[in-house]
Amino acid sequence: MHMIIAGRKPVLEALKAGTQIERIVVLENVHGAIIEEIHNRARGNNIEISETDQQGFRRIAGDAAAQGVVAVMAGKRFAELTHVLNIPVKHKEMGFILILDGIEDPHNLGALVRTAECAGVHGVVLPKHHAAAVTSSVVKASAGATEHIAIVQVTNIVRTLEKLKEEGYWIIGLDASGTKEYTAVEYSTAVAIVVGNEGKGIRRLVKEHCDHLVRIPLQGRIASLNASVAGALVMYEVVRQRHPQ
- pLDDT, tens digit, 9 for 90 and up, residues 137-164: 787 788 878 888 999 999 999 999 999 9
Residue 190 reports pLDDT greater than 50: yes
pLDDT at 166: 97
Least confident of 45-49, 141-145, 171-175, 179-183: 141-145
Task: Show the domains of the chain with their CATH numbers.
Answer: 3-73 (3.30.1330.30), 81-242 (3.40.1280.10)
Residue 1 confidence (pLDDT) = 45
Query: Rounded mean pLDDT of 72-95?
Result: 89
Q: How far apart are CA 121 and CA 65, in angstroms?
A: 28
Residues in the chain: 245
Residue 236 predicted with pLDDT over 60: yes
The predicted-structure confidence for 15-37, as pLDDT tens digits, reads as follows 998 888 888 999 998 999 999 99
Biggest alpha carbon distance in the chain?
58
pLDDT, position 74: 62
H-only helix segments in 173-226 = 204-208
pLDDT score recorded for residue 76: 64
